[in-house]
Amino acid sequence: MLANVDYWQSVYASSAVPTHPSQFAVFVQSWLHSTDATIIEVGCGNGRDSRFFHGQGHNVVVTDQVICDELSEFADDNERFAAVESNIEDAAEALKDLVDFRKPVVLYSRFFQHAIPEEVQQAQLASFSKVLNKDSILFFEFRLDGDKDMPKEFGTTHYRRFQSSADFIESLRENNFECGYSCEGQGYARYKSEDPEVGRFVASLQAKDHLRLV
């Protein structure tokens, strides 16, 4: 994992990644219909989406194995925004002093599940299933197995794991989460010449009748 972290740190330092919010962040905001949620972003990268959510009025806590200097400075300069360095498996424990898990939260993860091994994903989901309020909601977007051989703007030399939608939904189920909405395909995460095959998933600890398709 460290080699993968080192790779992305060098990318963030070079300012090669976009800073505007992703299509997925805008999708999630439209789903929430709220400006005062507590949002946890796991695997925040350069913070492009977490800054967007903060700008919408949300309380935001981000975590990653390494927090880049620019995002750390943003956290220091802004109320309702905190950044915590943590191993993926320990993220839920590391956030307990900053997040009141007795209340509903939004767990947000974009382009992160394909960057971690299956056993780490299982540990991640298991740790959050133990602490999240039953009314919390989880949003995921990441590359699927159909994207394995497609062109990549950021190359193919660093780690990526390609799983199917069915496999991820099963991982959610194994950790007491139920997927209330999912979709997959291209057109959701275009970047320059790349149009990856991705999946979007919305889950909760308890099925919600009010989850709506958008």
Q: Encoding tokens for residue 109?
A: 């993860």
Helix-, strand-, coil-residue percentages of the chain, each rounded to 5: 35, 20, 45
Low-confidence ranges of the chain (pLDDT < 70): 1-18, 153-157, 206-214
**pLDDT tens digits, residue range 152-176?**
766 666 789 999 999 999 999 999 9
**What is the topology classification, in CATH, of domain 2-204?**
Rossmann fold (3.40.50)
CB-based contacts of 34: which residues, under 8 Å, 6+ apart? Answer: 58
Rounded to two decimals, what is the model's pTM?
0.88
Domain boundaries, the chain: 2-204
**pLDDT tens digits, residue range 190-209?**
988 889 999 999 999 965 54
